[in-house]
């Protein structure tokens, strides 16, 4: 390692709001991200997609502006404003050139404080959401994802589709959307991150302006993640030449002391790029798939380890067997010293690439805050990662990985299953 990279993160407090900021004036652009816990987690049973539709409706007209003038105002100034509802969060963000920043703040505030929810816009958004929900189920991938989460968390919002289904989206009314927005868009409980050409004092003023008019009181806390249901194996019949496979098992929480060691182990097992054990065994050696990856999915303050790949129907059994063997080998012996060093080298060396554009920087800050990381978390990260020994990693691998308990969803027409 020839270069140490460090990032000056500033904490900006104003009007009861706190933002983390990476200030950078090299390009005249500002990205702002904000988030509350909640999102689809608050959707009443049978009304899945309510929060997602409410989020979509925020940019469909506000105040005196109906949908089209609102959209034109954004696009005339190239303001990328978006709202979305995730499984356990409700998120807003914009990116704007500095010249357009006042307009971005004006429109984002209007969207949150005076959304119109016009009936014609609602019907268009609903039609689009229903079509998307149906289209998702056209492919093995969409079918597998739906079935996997439903089986893993049958009685929890984590098991329900955040964007809703054709059935659940149909009856959602403007009144339901207003309720969803009322429980979500609050002055408290906000997590804010910013990056780009803005000074701390300007950001402070911006936050008061943007969020100051929201009602007080934080959104409720979503339910914590229950135990992962080891559902064994399920096959969802989907016609076609290839099956989508998802494997899963319990993971660990972002606050778990072993979280970083687990990231190292999972990087070696099935992390991004071409160098993981699973990629080597399943793709490179045997040509069984175009891509295979495994990693930790963090949700509801807990975690699930998932692995996904697609393969020809006739080779699903072989690919599954190889995957489970690789999983078992890692559980039994952990990574080698060389693998450990390579993974740590990647995880430490890749940090600068996280800071190349303003949206990504704001997103990284947001992820740190949502995982309750301290401000100096990145500063100590290299040392913490380098301190992980092979024995540490092997211990975490043995504790975390459960090859015999892997739940498997196959969507397709797998042979021999």
Q: In the window 328-347, what residues touch other proteins (CB under 8 A)?
A: 342, 345-347
- The candidate with the shortest Cα–Cα distance to 233, out of 14, 407, 40, is 407
Number of helical (H) and strand (E) elements in the chain, helices listed first: 15, 11
Contacts of 400 (CB under 8 A, 6+ apart): 251, 252, 258, 262, 265, 305, 331
Phi-psi map region of 240: left, alpha, beta (phi>0 left; psi -120 to 50 alpha) = left
CB of 211 to other proteins, least distance (A): 24
Residue 179 DSSP SS3: helix
Both structure tokens of 237? 């019949």
Among residue numbers 30 through 69, which ones bind other proteins (CB under 8 A)?
31, 60-61, 66-69
Strands 292-299 and 407-412: unpaired
Q: Which residue has the tokens 């009181």?
A: 217
Q: Which residues are 89's β-sheet partners?
A: 37
Least distance CB 330 / other proteins (angstroms): 18
Residue closer to other proteins, measured from CB, 66 or 187: 66
Q: Which of 224, 336, 337, 350 binds other proteins (CB under 8 A)?
A: 350
Among 178, 359, 381, 395, binds other proteins (CB under 8 A): 359
Q: Does 318 bind other proteins (CB under 8 A)?
A: no
Q: Which residue has the tokens 């609102």?
A: 70
According to CB under 8 A, which one of 123, 376, 379, 404 is a site residue for other proteins? 123
Closest CA to 12 of 250, 222, 193: 193
- Asked if 287 is part of the footprint of other proteins (rule: CB under 8 A), the reply reads yes
Question: Which residues share a beta bridge with 302?
Answer: 299
Contact 73, 103 (CB under 8 A): yes
Residue from 28, 44, 46, 170 that binds other proteins (CB under 8 A)? 28
Single residue of 178, 187, 286, 395 touching other proteins by CB under 8 A = 286
From the list 10-18, 20-28, 84-92, 200-208, the region that binds other proteins by CB under 8 A is 20-28
Q: Quick check: 355 binds other proteins (CB under 8 A)?
A: yes
* 233: helix, strand or coil: strand
Least separation, in Å, of the C-beta of 299 and other proteins? 25
Q: How far is CA 245 from CA 110, 159, 224, 295, 319, in A?
A: 44, 17, 27, 15, 9
CA angle 268, 270, 275 (to 5 degrees): 65
Binding of other proteins at residue 414 (CB under 8 A)? no
**Closest distance of CB 73 from other proteins, Å:** 10
What is the x/- site pattern for other proteins, positions 128-167, by CB under 8 A? x--x--xx-xxxxx--------------------------
Q: State the nearest-atom distance from the C-beta of 11 to other proteins, in Å.
A: 21
Among 351, 367, 398, 402, binds other proteins (CB under 8 A): 351
Which of 31/47 has CB closer to other proteins? 31
Count of chain residues binding other proteins (CB under 8 A)? 82
Distance in angstroms (rounded) separating the CA atoms of residues 4 and 254: 25
Q: In the structure encoding, which two tokens stand for residue 403, read together?
A: 């090859």
Q: Does residue 8 interact with other proteins by CB under 8 A?
A: no
Which span (24-32, 170-178, 229-237, 320-328) binds other proteins, by CB under 8 A?
24-32
Establish if 377 lies at the interface with other proteins (CB under 8 A). Answer: no
Q: Which of residues 72-111 bind other proteins (CB under 8 A)?
A: 72, 75-78, 80, 95, 97, 99-100
The token pair that represents 270 in the structure block: 């099935």
Q: Which two tokens stand for residue 27?
A: 């390009």
Site track for other proteins across 164-203, x = CB under 8 A: --------------------------------x-------
Instruction: Return the residues of window 265-284 that contact other proteins according to CB under 8 A.
Output: 272-275, 280, 283-284
| Residue 142 or 157 having the CB closest to other proteins | 142
* Secondary structure letter of residue 62 according to DSSP: B
CA distances from 143 to 20, 238, 409 (A): 38, 8, 10
Q: Quick one: which of 224, 290, 380, 405 contacts other proteins (CB under 8 A)?
A: 290
């Amino acid at each position: 390692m020839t270069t140490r990279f460090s990032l000056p993160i500033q904490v900006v407090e104003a009007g009861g709001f706190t933002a983390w900021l990476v200030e950078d004036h090299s390009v005249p652009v500002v990205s702002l991200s904000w988030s509350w816990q909640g999102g689809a987690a608050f959707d009443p049973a049978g009304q899945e997609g309510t929060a997602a539709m409410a989020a979509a409706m925020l940019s469909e007209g506000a105040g005196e502006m109906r949908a089209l003038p609102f959209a034109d105002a954004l696009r005339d100034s190239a303001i990328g404003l978006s709202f979305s509802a995730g499984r356990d969060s409700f998120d807003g963000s914009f990116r704007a050139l500095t010249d357009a920043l006042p307009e971005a703040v004006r429109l984002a505030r209007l969207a949150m404080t005076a959304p119109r929810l016009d009936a014609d816009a609602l019907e268009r958004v609903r039609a689009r959401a229903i079509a998307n929900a149906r289209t998702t189920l056209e492919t093995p991938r969409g079918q597998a994802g739906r079935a996997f989460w439903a089986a893993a968390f049958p009685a929890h919002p984590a098991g329900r589709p955040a964007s809703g289904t054709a059935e659940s989206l149909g009856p959602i009314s403007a009144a339901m959307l207003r309720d969803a927005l009322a429980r979500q868009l609050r002055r408290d409980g906000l997590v804010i991150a910013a990056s780009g050409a803005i000074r701390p004092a300007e950001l402070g003023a911006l936050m008061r302006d943007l969020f100051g008019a929201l009602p007080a009181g934080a959104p409720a806390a979503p339910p914590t993640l229950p135990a992962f249901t080891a559902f064994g194996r399920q096959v969802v019949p989907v016609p076609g030449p290839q099956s989508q496979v998802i494997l899963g098992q319990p993971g660990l929480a972002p606050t778990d002391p072993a979280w970083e060691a687990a990231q190292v182990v999972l990087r070696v097992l099935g992390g991004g790029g071409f160098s993981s054990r699973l990629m080597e065994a399943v793709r490179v050696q045997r040509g069984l798939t175009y891509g295979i990856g495994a990693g930790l999915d963090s949700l509801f303050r807990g975690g699930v380890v998932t692995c996904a790949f697609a393969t020809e129907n006739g080779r699903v059994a072989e690919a599954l067997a190889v995957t489970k063997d690789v999983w078992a080998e890692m559980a039994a012996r952990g990574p080698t010293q060389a693998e450990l060093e390579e993974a740590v080298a990647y995880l430490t060396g890749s940090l600068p690439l996280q800071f190349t554009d303003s949206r990504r920087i704001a997103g990284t800050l947001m992820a740190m805050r949502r995982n309750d990381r301290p401000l100096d978390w990145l500063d100590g990260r290299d040392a913490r990662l380098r301190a992980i020994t092979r024995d540490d990693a092997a211990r975490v691998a043995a504790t975390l990985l459960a090859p015999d308990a892997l739940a498997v969803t196959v969507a397709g027409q797998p042979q021999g299953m």
